[in-house]
Protein backbone atom coordinates (compact mmCIF):
# COMPACT_ATOMS: atom_id res chain seq x y z
CA UNK A 1 0.00 0.00 0.00
CA UNK A 2 1.46 3.31 -1.03
CA UNK A 3 1.67 5.87 1.76
CA UNK A 4 2.81 9.44 1.66
CA UNK A 5 6.12 8.53 3.32
CA UNK A 6 6.83 5.86 0.76
CA UNK A 7 6.03 8.23 -2.05
CA UNK A 8 8.33 10.87 -0.63
CA UNK A 9 11.11 8.36 -0.26
CA UNK A 10 10.58 7.36 -3.85
CA UNK A 11 10.61 10.88 -5.19
CA UNK A 12 13.39 12.17 -2.98
CA UNK A 13 15.53 9.29 -4.11
CA UNK A 14 14.98 9.90 -7.79
CA UNK A 15 18.61 10.90 -8.17
CA UNK A 16 19.88 7.58 -6.83
CA UNK A 17 17.18 5.50 -8.49
CA UNK A 18 17.94 6.90 -11.92
CA UNK A 19 21.39 5.43 -11.63
CA UNK A 20 19.94 2.05 -10.71
CA UNK A 21 18.43 2.01 -14.19
CA UNK A 22 15.35 0.25 -12.87
CA UNK A 23 17.27 -3.07 -12.78
CA UNK A 24 14.95 -4.93 -10.44
CA UNK A 25 14.43 -1.76 -8.42
CA UNK A 26 10.68 -1.70 -8.86
CA UNK A 27 8.35 1.13 -9.77
CA UNK A 28 9.58 4.58 -8.72
CA UNK A 29 7.33 5.99 -6.05
CA UNK A 30 6.42 2.57 -4.66
CA UNK A 31 10.05 1.79 -3.97
CA UNK A 32 11.42 -1.43 -2.80
CA UNK A 33 8.55 -2.22 -0.48
CA UNK A 34 6.82 -5.50 -1.18
CA UNK A 35 4.67 -4.79 -4.20
CA UNK A 36 2.46 -7.69 -3.26
CA UNK A 37 1.31 -5.78 -0.20
CA UNK A 38 -0.53 -3.22 -2.33
CA UNK A 39 -4.17 -4.17 -2.71
CA UNK A 40 -5.65 -1.06 -4.30
CA UNK A 41 -7.74 -1.58 -7.42
CA UNK A 42 -5.35 0.35 -9.59
CA UNK A 43 -2.60 -1.82 -8.17
CA UNK A 44 1.05 -1.69 -9.01
CA UNK A 45 1.75 -1.53 -12.70
CA UNK A 46 5.06 -3.00 -13.84
CA UNK A 47 7.54 -0.34 -14.94
CA UNK A 48 7.00 -1.19 -18.57
CA UNK A 49 3.21 -1.14 -18.29
CA UNK A 50 0.63 1.26 -19.56
CA UNK A 51 -1.89 3.28 -17.66
CA UNK A 52 -4.95 5.03 -19.07
CA UNK A 53 -6.12 8.29 -17.54
CA UNK A 54 -9.76 7.29 -17.60
CA UNK A 55 -12.75 9.26 -18.77
CA UNK A 56 -14.76 12.34 -17.89
CA UNK A 57 -13.48 14.89 -15.44
CA UNK A 58 -11.50 12.21 -13.58
CA UNK A 59 -9.72 11.43 -16.83
CA UNK A 60 -8.89 15.10 -17.34
CA UNK A 61 -7.53 15.44 -13.80
CA UNK A 62 -5.48 12.25 -14.15
CA UNK A 63 -4.11 13.56 -17.45
CA UNK A 64 -2.97 16.70 -15.67
CA UNK A 65 -1.65 14.59 -12.77
CA UNK A 66 0.42 12.50 -15.17
CA UNK A 67 2.04 15.55 -16.74
CA UNK A 68 2.69 17.17 -13.36
CA UNK A 69 4.34 13.92 -12.18
CA UNK A 70 6.67 14.11 -15.16
CA UNK A 71 7.54 17.76 -14.55
CA UNK A 72 7.98 17.29 -10.80
CA UNK A 73 10.34 14.36 -11.31
CA UNK A 74 12.31 16.29 -13.92
CA UNK A 75 12.84 19.41 -11.84
CA UNK A 76 13.57 17.36 -8.73
CA UNK A 77 16.42 15.79 -10.68
CA UNK A 78 17.54 19.16 -12.06
CA UNK A 79 17.85 20.69 -8.61
CA UNK A 80 19.39 17.55 -7.12
CA UNK A 81 22.10 17.46 -9.81
CA UNK A 82 22.52 21.03 -11.06
CA UNK A 83 24.06 21.50 -14.51
CA UNK A 84 27.56 22.90 -14.84
CA UNK A 85 27.64 26.63 -14.40
CA UNK A 86 24.14 26.98 -12.94
CA UNK A 87 23.98 30.50 -11.52
CA UNK A 88 22.45 31.21 -8.15
CA UNK A 89 19.60 33.04 -9.90
CA UNK A 90 18.95 30.05 -12.13
CA UNK A 91 19.07 27.72 -9.14
CA UNK A 92 16.55 29.90 -7.36
CA UNK A 93 14.16 29.95 -10.32
CA UNK A 94 14.51 26.22 -11.00
CA UNK A 95 14.00 25.41 -7.34
CA UNK A 96 10.83 27.49 -7.30
CA UNK A 97 9.57 25.81 -10.45
CA UNK A 98 10.35 22.43 -8.89
CA UNK A 99 8.34 23.41 -5.83
CA UNK A 100 5.41 24.56 -7.98
CA UNK A 101 5.37 21.32 -9.96
CA UNK A 102 5.68 19.16 -6.85
CA UNK A 103 2.75 21.08 -5.38
CA UNK A 104 0.71 20.66 -8.56
CA UNK A 105 1.44 16.94 -8.51
CA UNK A 106 0.60 16.54 -4.85
CA UNK A 107 -2.54 18.63 -5.29
CA UNK A 108 -3.90 16.38 -8.03
CA UNK A 109 -2.95 13.27 -6.11
CA UNK A 110 -4.85 14.56 -3.09
CA UNK A 111 -7.84 15.80 -5.08
CA UNK A 112 -8.11 12.55 -7.03
CA UNK A 113 -7.63 10.33 -3.97
CA UNK A 114 -8.59 6.74 -4.85
CA UNK A 115 -9.27 7.81 -8.45
CA UNK A 116 -5.65 8.73 -9.03
CA UNK A 117 -3.49 6.82 -11.48
CA UNK A 118 -0.33 5.27 -10.09
CA UNK A 119 3.05 6.92 -9.71
CA UNK A 120 4.69 6.87 -13.12
CA UNK A 121 8.20 5.62 -13.81
CA UNK A 122 10.12 8.28 -15.68
CA UNK A 123 12.96 7.89 -18.16
CA UNK A 124 15.29 10.85 -18.49
CA UNK A 125 18.12 8.96 -20.17
CA UNK A 126 17.90 11.32 -23.16
CA UNK A 127 18.64 14.33 -20.99
CA UNK A 128 22.17 15.31 -19.98
CA UNK A 129 21.65 16.80 -16.55
CA UNK A 130 25.16 18.24 -16.49
CA UNK A 131 24.46 20.35 -19.60
CA UNK A 132 22.66 23.68 -19.28
CA UNK A 133 21.45 23.52 -22.86
CA UNK A 134 20.16 19.97 -22.54
CA UNK A 135 18.36 20.69 -19.27
CA UNK A 136 16.80 24.01 -20.28
CA UNK A 137 15.79 22.68 -23.68
CA UNK A 138 14.02 19.80 -21.97
CA UNK A 139 12.48 22.17 -19.43
CA UNK A 140 11.14 24.40 -22.17
CA UNK A 141 9.72 21.36 -23.94
CA UNK A 142 7.99 20.17 -20.77
CA UNK A 143 6.54 23.59 -19.95
CA UNK A 144 5.42 24.34 -23.49
CA UNK A 145 3.87 20.88 -23.67
CA UNK A 146 2.03 21.41 -20.39
CA UNK A 147 0.49 24.66 -21.64
CA UNK A 148 -0.68 23.05 -24.89
CA UNK A 149 -2.04 20.11 -22.91
CA UNK A 150 -4.16 22.14 -20.50
CA UNK A 151 -5.42 24.38 -23.30
CA UNK A 152 -6.26 21.39 -25.46
CA UNK A 153 -8.15 19.35 -22.85
CA UNK A 154 -10.06 22.14 -21.09
CA UNK A 155 -13.20 22.01 -23.21
CA UNK A 156 -13.80 18.44 -22.04
CA UNK A 157 -14.15 19.58 -18.46
CA UNK A 158 -17.74 19.45 -17.22
CA UNK A 159 -17.38 20.76 -13.68
CA UNK A 160 -16.68 24.52 -13.61
CA UNK A 161 -14.69 24.12 -10.39
CA UNK A 162 -12.25 21.83 -12.22
CA UNK A 163 -12.03 24.26 -15.11
CA UNK A 164 -11.17 26.98 -12.63
CA UNK A 165 -8.42 24.78 -11.22
CA UNK A 166 -7.01 24.04 -14.66
CA UNK A 167 -7.11 27.74 -15.41
CA UNK A 168 -5.22 28.53 -12.20
CA UNK A 169 -2.43 26.17 -13.17
CA UNK A 170 -2.02 26.68 -16.91
CA UNK A 171 -1.06 30.35 -16.59
CA UNK A 172 1.68 29.39 -14.13
CA UNK A 173 3.00 26.81 -16.60
CA UNK A 174 2.99 29.54 -19.23
CA UNK A 175 4.95 31.81 -16.88
CA UNK A 176 7.43 28.96 -16.43
CA UNK A 177 7.64 28.40 -20.17
CA UNK A 178 8.32 32.06 -20.84
CA UNK A 179 11.04 32.18 -18.21
CA UNK A 180 12.80 29.08 -19.53
CA UNK A 181 12.61 30.50 -23.04
CA UNK A 182 14.18 33.72 -21.76
CA UNK A 183 16.95 31.81 -19.96
CA UNK A 184 17.83 30.01 -23.16
CA UNK A 185 17.71 33.14 -25.30
CA UNK A 186 16.56 36.50 -23.98
CA UNK A 187 13.42 37.43 -25.89
CA UNK A 188 12.29 33.87 -26.56
CA UNK A 189 9.36 34.08 -24.15
CA UNK A 190 6.79 33.39 -26.89
CA UNK A 191 8.54 31.57 -29.72
CA UNK A 192 6.64 31.05 -32.97
CA UNK A 193 6.58 27.29 -32.54
CA UNK A 194 4.40 27.85 -29.47
CA UNK A 195 2.64 31.13 -30.21
CA UNK A 196 1.17 31.64 -33.66
CA UNK A 197 2.88 34.43 -35.57
CA UNK A 198 -0.43 35.41 -37.18
CA UNK A 199 -2.94 35.27 -34.32
CA UNK A 200 -0.60 35.31 -31.30
CA UNK A 201 -2.63 32.50 -29.77
CA UNK A 202 -0.72 29.80 -27.91
CA UNK A 203 -0.74 26.40 -29.54
CA UNK A 204 -3.09 23.83 -27.97
CA UNK A 205 -2.70 20.10 -28.51
CA UNK A 206 -4.79 16.97 -28.26
CA UNK A 207 -3.95 14.39 -25.60
CA UNK A 208 -2.59 12.00 -28.23
CA UNK A 209 -0.13 14.61 -29.46
CA UNK A 210 0.88 15.56 -25.94
CA UNK A 211 1.26 11.98 -24.74
CA UNK A 212 3.26 10.97 -27.80
CA UNK A 213 5.83 13.52 -26.66
CA UNK A 214 5.49 12.87 -22.93
CA UNK A 215 5.76 9.09 -23.30
CA UNK A 216 9.29 9.45 -24.68
CA UNK A 217 10.22 10.41 -21.11
CA UNK A 218 8.08 7.75 -19.45
CA UNK A 219 8.71 4.06 -18.98
CA UNK A 220 5.12 3.73 -17.79
CA UNK A 221 3.25 4.77 -20.92
CA UNK A 222 0.16 6.91 -20.48
CA UNK A 223 -2.88 6.76 -22.74
CA UNK A 224 -6.03 8.88 -22.89
CA UNK A 225 -8.29 6.64 -24.93
CA UNK A 226 -11.55 8.39 -24.12
CA UNK A 227 -10.29 11.73 -25.40
CA UNK A 228 -9.58 12.72 -29.02
CA UNK B 1 -22.90 45.95 -28.49
CA UNK B 2 -21.62 48.51 -26.00
CA UNK B 3 -19.85 47.83 -22.75
CA UNK B 4 -22.93 48.26 -20.57
CA UNK B 5 -24.93 45.65 -22.40
CA UNK B 6 -21.92 43.35 -22.12
CA UNK B 7 -22.10 43.80 -18.36
CA UNK B 8 -25.79 42.90 -18.37
CA UNK B 9 -25.06 39.77 -20.37
CA UNK B 10 -22.26 38.66 -18.11
CA UNK B 11 -24.28 39.29 -14.97
CA UNK B 12 -26.87 36.88 -16.32
CA UNK B 13 -24.17 34.22 -16.47
CA UNK B 14 -21.82 35.11 -13.63
CA UNK B 15 -24.10 34.78 -10.60
CA UNK B 16 -24.73 31.08 -11.32
CA UNK B 17 -21.05 30.44 -11.62
CA UNK B 18 -20.24 32.54 -8.59
CA UNK B 19 -22.66 30.71 -6.38
CA UNK B 20 -21.47 27.33 -7.56
CA UNK B 21 -17.83 28.08 -7.05
CA UNK B 22 -17.50 30.71 -4.35
CA UNK B 23 -20.24 32.08 -2.12
CA UNK B 24 -17.89 34.87 -1.08
CA UNK B 25 -18.46 36.48 -4.44
CA UNK B 26 -21.89 37.70 -3.30
CA UNK B 27 -20.19 40.59 -1.59
CA UNK B 28 -18.62 41.71 -4.82
CA UNK B 29 -21.56 41.23 -7.16
CA UNK B 30 -23.34 44.41 -6.10
CA UNK B 31 -20.43 46.82 -6.28
CA UNK B 32 -21.38 48.34 -9.59
CA UNK B 33 -24.81 49.39 -10.61
CA UNK B 34 -25.68 50.31 -14.14
CA UNK B 35 -29.30 51.28 -13.85
CA UNK B 36 -32.22 49.37 -15.25
CA UNK B 37 -31.51 46.31 -17.26
CA UNK B 38 -31.48 46.89 -20.99
CA UNK B 39 -33.44 44.65 -23.28
CA UNK B 40 -31.53 41.70 -24.58
CA UNK B 41 -30.25 42.74 -27.98
CA UNK B 42 -31.12 40.24 -30.67
CA UNK B 43 -27.94 38.73 -32.00
CA UNK B 44 -28.12 37.60 -35.56
CA UNK B 45 -26.45 34.29 -36.26
CA UNK B 46 -25.06 35.16 -39.65
CA UNK B 47 -23.58 32.40 -41.75
CA UNK B 48 -20.70 32.08 -44.12
CA UNK B 49 -17.92 34.04 -42.55
CA UNK B 50 -14.31 32.96 -42.56
CA UNK B 51 -14.19 32.31 -38.83
CA UNK B 52 -17.40 30.34 -38.77
CA UNK B 53 -16.28 28.23 -41.73
CA UNK B 54 -13.02 27.48 -39.97
CA UNK B 55 -14.66 26.62 -36.68
CA UNK B 56 -18.21 25.86 -37.73
CA UNK B 57 -19.85 27.05 -34.57
CA UNK B 58 -22.19 29.95 -33.93
CA UNK B 59 -21.83 31.74 -30.63
CA UNK B 60 -24.55 32.42 -28.08
CA UNK B 61 -25.05 35.96 -26.86
CA UNK B 62 -23.37 35.18 -23.55
CA UNK B 63 -20.33 33.75 -25.34
CA UNK B 64 -20.23 36.88 -27.50
CA UNK B 65 -20.32 38.99 -24.36
CA UNK B 66 -17.31 37.16 -22.98
CA UNK B 67 -15.46 37.65 -26.24
CA UNK B 68 -16.34 41.34 -26.33
CA UNK B 69 -15.15 41.74 -22.75
CA UNK B 70 -11.87 40.12 -23.79
CA UNK B 71 -11.68 42.37 -26.84
CA UNK B 72 -12.26 45.43 -24.67
CA UNK B 73 -9.27 44.49 -22.53
CA UNK B 74 -7.13 43.72 -25.55
CA UNK B 75 -7.95 47.10 -27.09
CA UNK B 76 -6.84 48.79 -23.88
CA UNK B 77 -3.62 46.76 -23.75
CA UNK B 78 -2.91 47.24 -27.43
CA UNK B 79 -3.42 50.98 -27.12
CA UNK B 80 -1.01 50.99 -24.17
CA UNK B 81 1.75 49.21 -26.07
CA UNK B 82 1.16 51.08 -29.30
CA UNK B 83 1.47 54.35 -27.43
CA UNK B 84 4.56 53.20 -25.56
CA UNK B 85 6.42 51.80 -28.54
CA UNK B 86 5.39 54.83 -30.54
CA UNK B 87 6.81 57.26 -27.99
CA UNK B 88 10.23 58.25 -29.24
CA UNK B 89 13.03 57.38 -26.85
CA UNK B 90 10.85 55.60 -24.28
CA UNK B 91 11.35 51.87 -24.90
CA UNK B 92 14.89 50.52 -24.75
CA UNK B 93 14.16 46.84 -25.34
CA UNK B 94 12.52 47.44 -28.67
CA UNK B 95 12.35 43.86 -29.99
CA UNK B 96 11.20 42.48 -26.64
CA UNK B 97 8.43 45.01 -26.10
CA UNK B 98 7.75 45.01 -29.83
CA UNK B 99 6.85 41.32 -29.65
CA UNK B 100 4.30 42.04 -26.94
CA UNK B 101 2.93 45.00 -28.92
CA UNK B 102 2.49 42.76 -31.95
CA UNK B 103 0.79 40.06 -29.88
CA UNK B 104 -1.77 42.46 -28.41
CA UNK B 105 -2.57 43.91 -31.82
CA UNK B 106 -3.01 40.35 -33.12
CA UNK B 107 -5.32 39.54 -30.23
CA UNK B 108 -7.46 42.56 -31.10
CA UNK B 109 -7.63 41.46 -34.72
CA UNK B 110 -8.39 37.85 -33.83
CA UNK B 111 -11.19 38.65 -31.40
CA UNK B 112 -12.67 41.26 -33.73
CA UNK B 113 -12.80 38.69 -36.55
CA UNK B 114 -14.12 35.97 -34.28
CA UNK B 115 -16.95 38.11 -32.93
CA UNK B 116 -17.90 39.37 -36.38
CA UNK B 117 -17.80 35.87 -37.84
CA UNK B 118 -19.99 34.57 -35.05
CA UNK B 119 -22.61 37.19 -35.77
CA UNK B 120 -21.79 39.67 -33.03
CA UNK B 121 -20.81 43.32 -33.05
CA UNK B 122 -17.24 43.81 -31.83
CA UNK B 123 -16.41 46.71 -29.53
CA UNK B 124 -13.98 49.28 -30.88
CA UNK B 125 -11.79 51.97 -29.37
CA UNK B 126 -14.61 54.44 -30.01
CA UNK B 127 -16.32 52.90 -26.96
CA UNK B 128 -14.02 54.89 -24.71
CA UNK B 129 -14.59 58.52 -23.82
CA UNK B 130 -11.01 58.54 -22.61
CA UNK B 131 -8.11 56.23 -22.00
CA UNK B 132 -5.72 57.34 -19.25
CA UNK B 133 -2.73 55.11 -18.58
CA UNK B 134 -1.56 57.37 -15.77
CA UNK B 135 -4.54 56.04 -13.80
CA UNK B 136 -5.88 59.56 -13.41
CA UNK B 137 -9.51 59.19 -14.52
CA UNK B 138 -8.93 61.24 -17.63
CA UNK B 139 -6.67 63.88 -16.08
CA UNK B 140 -3.57 62.23 -17.60
CA UNK B 141 -1.91 63.09 -14.31
CA UNK B 142 -2.65 60.11 -12.11
CA UNK B 143 -0.36 58.00 -9.91
CA UNK B 144 1.52 56.76 -13.00
CA UNK B 145 2.00 60.22 -14.46
CA UNK B 146 5.34 59.29 -16.04
CA UNK B 147 4.03 56.13 -17.74
CA UNK B 148 5.09 57.38 -21.19
CA UNK B 149 8.04 59.51 -20.14
CA UNK B 150 9.79 57.07 -17.81
CA UNK B 151 10.53 53.59 -19.12
CA UNK B 152 10.58 52.02 -15.65
CA UNK B 153 7.10 53.37 -14.94
CA UNK B 154 5.97 52.03 -18.30
CA UNK B 155 7.33 48.58 -17.46
CA UNK B 156 5.75 48.59 -13.99
CA UNK B 157 2.36 49.48 -15.45
CA UNK B 158 2.85 46.85 -18.17
CA UNK B 159 3.58 44.20 -15.55
CA UNK B 160 0.33 44.84 -13.72
CA UNK B 161 -1.69 45.13 -16.94
CA UNK B 162 -0.47 41.70 -17.98
CA UNK B 163 -1.06 40.13 -14.56
CA UNK B 164 -4.55 41.62 -14.55
CA UNK B 165 -5.30 40.45 -18.07
CA UNK B 166 -4.38 36.91 -17.08
CA UNK B 167 -6.76 37.10 -14.11
CA UNK B 168 -9.55 38.58 -16.22
CA UNK B 169 -9.42 35.80 -18.81
CA UNK B 170 -9.22 33.22 -16.05
CA UNK B 171 -12.35 34.63 -14.48
CA UNK B 172 -14.29 34.21 -17.70
CA UNK B 173 -13.20 30.69 -18.58
CA UNK B 174 -16.03 29.00 -16.65
CA UNK B 175 -18.49 31.08 -18.70
CA UNK B 176 -17.16 29.25 -21.75
CA UNK B 177 -17.43 25.81 -20.16
CA UNK B 178 -17.49 23.01 -22.69
CA UNK B 179 -17.11 25.31 -25.68
CA UNK B 180 -14.38 23.77 -27.80
CA UNK B 181 -13.99 26.72 -30.13
CA UNK B 182 -14.17 29.69 -27.82
CA UNK B 183 -12.91 28.25 -24.55
CA UNK B 184 -9.82 26.93 -26.31
CA UNK B 185 -9.26 30.27 -28.05
CA UNK B 186 -9.68 32.18 -24.78
CA UNK B 187 -7.26 29.89 -22.96
CA UNK B 188 -4.78 30.17 -25.84
CA UNK B 189 -4.82 33.96 -25.49
CA UNK B 190 -4.71 33.71 -21.70
CA UNK B 191 -1.53 31.61 -21.93
CA UNK B 192 0.16 34.27 -24.04
CA UNK B 193 -0.80 37.01 -21.59
CA UNK B 194 0.80 34.89 -18.88
CA UNK B 195 3.94 34.59 -21.02
CA UNK B 196 3.94 38.38 -21.32
CA UNK B 197 3.52 38.84 -17.58
CA UNK B 198 6.43 36.49 -16.93
CA UNK B 199 8.52 38.26 -19.57
CA UNK B 200 7.94 41.76 -18.20
CA UNK B 201 8.69 40.59 -14.66
CA UNK B 202 11.87 38.84 -15.81
CA UNK B 203 13.02 41.90 -17.75
CA UNK B 204 12.43 44.23 -14.82
CA UNK B 205 14.31 41.95 -12.42
CA UNK B 206 17.16 40.70 -14.60
CA UNK B 207 17.96 44.04 -16.22
CA UNK B 208 16.52 46.86 -14.11
CA UNK B 209 16.98 45.80 -10.51
CA UNK B 210 13.41 44.92 -9.63
CA UNK B 211 12.88 41.99 -7.29
CA UNK B 212 9.75 40.36 -8.71
CA UNK B 213 9.60 36.71 -9.74
CA UNK B 214 8.16 35.71 -13.12
CA UNK B 215 5.20 34.42 -11.08
CA UNK B 216 3.10 36.24 -8.50
CA UNK B 217 4.61 35.41 -5.12
CA UNK B 218 2.37 36.61 -2.32
CA UNK B 219 2.56 36.55 1.45
CA UNK B 220 -0.21 35.81 3.92
CA UNK B 221 -0.52 39.54 4.55
CA UNK B 222 -0.12 40.83 1.02
CA UNK B 223 -1.32 39.47 -2.31
CA UNK B 224 0.47 42.22 -4.22
CA UNK B 225 4.11 41.34 -4.82
CA UNK B 226 4.89 44.29 -7.09
CA UNK B 227 5.86 46.75 -4.39
CA UNK B 228 3.43 49.25 -5.91
CA UNK B 229 0.59 49.70 -3.44
CA UNK B 230 -1.61 51.62 -5.90
CA UNK B 231 -2.29 48.33 -7.69
CA UNK B 232 -3.35 46.34 -4.63
CA UNK B 233 -6.81 45.85 -6.13
CA UNK B 234 -5.30 44.09 -9.15
CA UNK B 235 -4.03 41.33 -6.87
CA UNK B 236 -7.05 41.21 -4.55
CA UNK B 237 -10.68 40.30 -5.19
CA UNK B 238 -12.93 37.51 -3.95
CA UNK B 239 -10.17 35.03 -4.79
CA UNK B 240 -7.03 37.03 -4.07
CA UNK B 241 -3.61 36.05 -5.31
CA UNK B 242 -2.60 35.02 -1.79
CA UNK B 243 -5.26 32.29 -1.74
CA UNK B 244 -3.72 29.08 -0.44
CA UNK B 245 -6.52 26.67 -1.16
CA UNK B 246 -7.49 25.07 -4.45
CA UNK B 247 -10.58 22.98 -5.02
CA UNK B 248 -11.11 22.79 -1.28
CA UNK B 249 -7.60 21.47 -0.66
CA UNK B 250 -5.39 23.39 1.77
CA UNK B 251 -2.18 23.67 -0.23
CA UNK B 252 -0.13 24.56 2.84
CA UNK B 253 -0.65 21.07 4.26
CA UNK B 254 0.68 19.27 1.21
CA UNK B 255 4.23 17.93 1.36
CA UNK B 256 7.03 19.75 -0.37
CA UNK B 257 10.63 18.79 -1.01
CA UNK B 258 11.59 21.06 1.89
CA UNK B 259 9.10 19.52 4.29
CA UNK B 260 7.30 16.22 4.36
CA UNK B 261 4.20 17.84 5.73
CA UNK B 262 3.89 21.39 4.49
CA UNK B 263 4.26 23.85 1.65
CA UNK B 264 5.16 27.52 2.06
CA UNK B 265 2.79 30.40 1.39
CA UNK B 266 5.20 31.70 -1.25
CA UNK B 267 5.13 28.43 -3.20
CA UNK B 268 1.40 27.87 -2.76
CA UNK B 269 0.47 31.36 -3.93
CA UNK B 270 2.90 31.35 -6.85
CA UNK B 271 1.88 27.91 -8.12
CA UNK B 272 -1.76 28.92 -8.64
CA UNK B 273 -2.90 32.13 -10.34
CA UNK B 274 -6.35 33.34 -9.27
CA UNK B 275 -9.27 34.83 -11.24
CA UNK B 276 -10.87 38.23 -11.15
CA UNK B 277 -14.56 38.56 -11.90
CA UNK B 278 -15.68 40.88 -14.65
CA UNK B 279 -17.10 43.22 -12.03
CA UNK B 280 -13.76 43.34 -10.25
CA UNK B 281 -11.88 44.02 -13.49
CA UNK B 282 -14.22 46.83 -14.47
CA UNK B 283 -13.92 48.39 -11.02
CA UNK B 284 -10.15 48.48 -11.51
CA UNK B 285 -10.39 50.00 -14.98
CA UNK B 286 -13.31 52.40 -14.62
CA UNK B 287 -12.89 55.34 -14.13
CA UNK B 288 -9.17 55.32 -13.31
CA UNK B 289 -7.98 54.12 -16.72
CA UNK B 290 -10.97 54.29 -19.05
CA UNK B 291 -14.50 55.44 -19.24
CA UNK B 292 -17.11 54.38 -21.73
CA UNK B 293 -19.91 55.91 -23.69
CA UNK B 294 -23.22 55.44 -21.91
Domain A4-223: assigned CATH number? 1.20.1260.10
Parse chain B into domains and list their residue ranges. Answer: 3-31+56-241+254-292
Global pTM reads: 0.83
Question: Does the pLDDT at position A39 exceed 60?
Answer: no
Mutation target for B interface from A174, A176, A192, A198: give the one with most B CBs within 10 A: A174
- Assembly ipTM: 0.84
Taking one residue from A and the other from B, the number of pairs with CB-CB distance under 8 angstroms is: 202
pLDDT in tens, B106-149: 999 999 999 999 999 999 999 899 999 999 999 999 999 999 99
pLDDT, mean over chain B: 86
Q: How high is the pLDDT of residue A139?
A: 98
Tell me the pLDDT band of A161, cut-offs 50, 70 and 90. very high
Q: Which of A25-34, A72-81, B2-11, B112-121 has the lowest mean pLDDT?
A: A25-34
Q: Which CATH class is domain B3-31+56-241+254-292?
A: mainly alpha
CB distance from A81 to chain B under 8 Å?
A: no
- The answer to whether the Cβ–Cβ distance between A152 and B184 falls below 8 Å is yes
A132-145 average pLDDT score: 98
Beta-strand pair B290-292/B128-131 = antiparallel
- The answer to whether the Cβ–Cβ distance between A96 and B215 falls below 8 Å is yes
pLDDT in tens, A178-228: 999 999 999 999 999 999 999 999 999 999 999 999 999 999 999 999 997
- Chain A residue numbers with beta carbons less than 8 Å from the beta carbon of B184 are 151-152, 154-155, 204
Tell me the pLDDT band of A43, cut-offs 50, 70 and 90. very low
Q: How high is the pLDDT of residue B2?
A: 60
Amino acid sequence: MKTETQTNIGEANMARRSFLRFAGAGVAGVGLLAASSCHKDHGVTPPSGTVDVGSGDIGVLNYAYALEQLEAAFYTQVVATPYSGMSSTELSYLTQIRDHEVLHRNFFKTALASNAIIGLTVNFSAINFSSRTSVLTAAKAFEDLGVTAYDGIAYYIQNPAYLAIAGSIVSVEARHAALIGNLLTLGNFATSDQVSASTSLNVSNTPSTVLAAANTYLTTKVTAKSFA
Amino acid sequence: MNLFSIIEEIEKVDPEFNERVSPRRDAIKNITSFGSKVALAAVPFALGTMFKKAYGQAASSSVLSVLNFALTLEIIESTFYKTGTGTSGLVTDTAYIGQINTDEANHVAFLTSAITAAGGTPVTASEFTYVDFTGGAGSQNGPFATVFSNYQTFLAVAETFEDTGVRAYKGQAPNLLGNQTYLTAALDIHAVEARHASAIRYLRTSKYGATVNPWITSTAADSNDTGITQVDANYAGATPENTTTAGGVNLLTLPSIESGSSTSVAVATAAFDEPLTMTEVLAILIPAFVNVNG
